[in-house]
Amino acid sequence: MSKFTPDLKKNIDTLIASAVGFILVILYTQYGGIGISPDSIAYTCASRNFIATGSFTDIIGLPLVAFPLFYPFFLSCIMFVTQTDIITIAPYLNAFLFATVIFLSGLIIEKFKYKTSWYKRILLAIITFSPSLIEIYTMLWSETLFILLILLFILFFHRYFRTHNIVTLVTAAIVAALAFDTRYAGITLVATGCLLIFFDKNLGWKKKTEHTLLFGSIGISLAALNLLRNVLENGLATGMRQKGVTPLSKNIEFSGGVLSDWFTIQFKEQLFFEILAIAIMILFIIFFVRNIRHWKAYYTYENASVAFFIVYVLFIIVSSTISRYETINNRLLAPAFLPALWISTCQIPKWRAKLPHRKLRWIFFAFSVGIGVIVIGSYFAINNENLSYMRETGIPGYTEDTWTKSRIVNYLQKNNEYFNPDSTVYSNHSQAVYFLTNHSVSSLPERVYKHDVKEFKTESPIVLIWFYNDPNPDLLTMKEIRKCKKVERVKSFSDGAIYILKNKSN
């Protein structure tokens, strides 16, 4: 039985890359702290409320149902152990998570079927300086944990490939269950595991059925309990969701644009992005099918990685077409970055070794290293520009100077009269108010949710904190509000205003 036993002597380069990754996250977050988005506020508030009350609730005290609960639980555990608020410790937590991802990546690459020291070190440099991953690990997002769980899944599932015993299968299933309850997209790990079991030629159909049922039932267990809790608390399994408005062709194009950025391809044509996404998917599917036919290649880290890439990217494209997400971007696809990198390069050492003449091998080596250096150089340029900006103004989001030095925010921090318990307070950036003032206010309703809009129209009086920054086109506009409310401006700032809203009948 082959065990995964890391040899630290063979992984000094991996340790160095991990240390560099840790330092990079600290440098990025040195000025203003960890990057904070509206999703970050949901995680932060839920984890704080769980520590305080034992309940996962949002900024106005309602049960958190839009996001799965394991990541807020993870954050609350970090706060409990360190006795430090998550916003304070998040830069160090994310730096550690990023360093761990780099380290596990190095261990996995070390076990590739075809691998050389130069190949491994170039990939480690690409991973460490990847703008895709650095964007993730400088924000307080659940993807930071999700990507780590993906690597653990690949490690444990490879161990299952080698043993086919129940203990290793259950271990991989538990990791998949944690990933599924970290992000709902984690269902792709459950699907990947079932796919790999189904095509495993070393298992008979009876064993395949038994192992698939066992793996699948454990893999969905935590998320199923989470969804049941959501239904009991809120009546909805994942909160209110809108139908997709972006056609499939556009989502393929957006995915191709992200892949193009990963590989530093400079074309900007929409058709090129679509062709690129489709071509990569077809090539990776061919690679997986070839592995099915060659059983030695099937039981490898590379095969588990390509299976996950195929399932995950297809899931994101299809689900983004069916349900309304943010536009497909690096954040949504970042969990597939490492598998994409590995699969697109893993045959290079093999191709070089098969060349008949030493001179050809050196030419191929120089060409391959040159491409790697170009990619790393491009990453350096992007990181240098980003780091220069972020060390002066902070990471884009609520820790950026645009928000922390906002005049309306500074006023609200010094004046609490609008937040007395008897006031009904709304904002078009309720998350910003919570994060920057420690006061909880309701969010303006999205116009598609008629019940919420109707409730807003009946309430009176209302204090409305209105920010000019980052307008959300889904929320009620001031023009729409004026149609149903008498609007009185009580404070005006260069970046926002405070209004009192009353029903017109009052």
**Domain spans of the chain?**
241-354, 406-503
pLDDT digits (tens, 9 = 90+) for 249-261: 999 999 999 999 9
Q: Is 370 exposed, middle or buried (0-12, 13-18, 19+ CB in 10 A)?
A: exposed
Residue 476's pLDDT is 93
The span from the CA of 427 to the CA of 406, in Å, is: 15
pLDDT for 388-398, tens place per residue?
999 889 999 99
Mean pLDDT of 460-472: 93
Tokens of 218: 């454990």
The per-residue pLDDT for 506 is 55
Which two tokens mark 185? 């997209």
d(CA 16, CA 8): 11
**Which CA distances in Å does 203 have to 5, 172, 212?**
25, 17, 11
SS3 390: helix
In the structure, what pLDDT confidence band is assigned to residue 5 with cuts at 50, 70 and 90? low
- Dist. CA 412–CA 173, nearest whole Å: 48
The helix or strand, by DSSP H or E, that contains position 412, with its residue range, turns out to be helix 407-414
Is the preceding omega at residue 349 within 30 degrees of 0, hence cis?
Answer: no
Decide: 63 and 234 in contact? Cβ < 8 Å: yes
pLDDT band of residue 102 (cuts 50, 70, 90) is: very high
Contact indicator for 374, 126 with CB cutoff of 8 Å: no
The confidence score (pLDDT) of residue 353 equals 84
Q: Residue 1 pLDDT more than 50?
A: no
Percent of the chain with pLDDT over 90: 80
Mean pLDDT is lowest, of 74-78, 142-146, 247-251, 357-361, for 357-361
Question: Could you please report the per-residue DSSP string of 128-195?
Answer: HT-HHHHHHHTB--THHHHHHHHHHHHHHHHHHHHH--HHHHHHHHHHHHHHHTT-GGGHHHHHHHHH
Q: How far is CA 98 from CA 118, 135, 138, 155, 490, in A?
A: 22, 11, 9, 17, 46
Q: Over 90: is that where the pLDDT of 4 sits? A: no
CB of 461 within 8 A of CB of 426? no
* Tokens found for residue 125: 């440099």
Q: Which letter does DSSP use for residue 417 in this model?
A: G
Contact 102, 128 (CB under 8 A): yes
| pLDDT score of 81 | 97
Angle at 112 between CA 111 and CA 116, to 5 degrees: 95
Q: What angle do CA 420, 429, 51 make, to 5 degrees?
A: 65
Mean pLDDT for the chain overall: 93
Tell me 10's DSSP state: G
Query: Residue ranges of the alpha helices (H) in 70-142?
Result: 70-82, 86-110, 117-128, 131-137
CA pair distance 4, 162, nearest whole angstrom? 10
Q: What is the DSSP string of 426-458?
A: EETTHHHHHHHHS---EEPPBTT-HHHHHHHHH
Calpha distance 242→448 (Å, rounded): 8
Alpha-carbon 248 to chain mean position = 21
Residues 17 and 125 sit within 8 Å (Cβ to Cβ):
yes
Q: What is the mean pLDDT of residues 241-245?
A: 80
Whether the pLDDT of residue 83 is over 50: the answer is yes
Give dist(CA 170, CA 175) in Å, integer.
9
Give yes or no for residue 2 having a pLDDT over 50: no
Q: Examine the pLDDT at 7 and tell me if it is beyond 80.
A: no
Contact 214, 169 (CB under 8 A): yes
Question: Coil, strand or helix: which one is 353?
Answer: helix
* Sole residue written with tokens 């409730």: 455
| Mean pLDDT computed over 196-218 | 95
- Between the CA of residue 483 and those of 199, 476, 478, 496, 504, what are the distances in Å? 61, 11, 9, 20, 9
Residue pair 260/280 in contact (Cβ under 8 Å)? The answer is: no
pLDDT confidence bin for 358, thresholds 50/70/90 = confident
| pLDDT of residue 297 exceeding 80 | yes
Closest CA to 207 of 263, 239, 160, 175: 160
Distance in angstroms (rounded) separating the CA atoms of residues 307 and 175 = 17
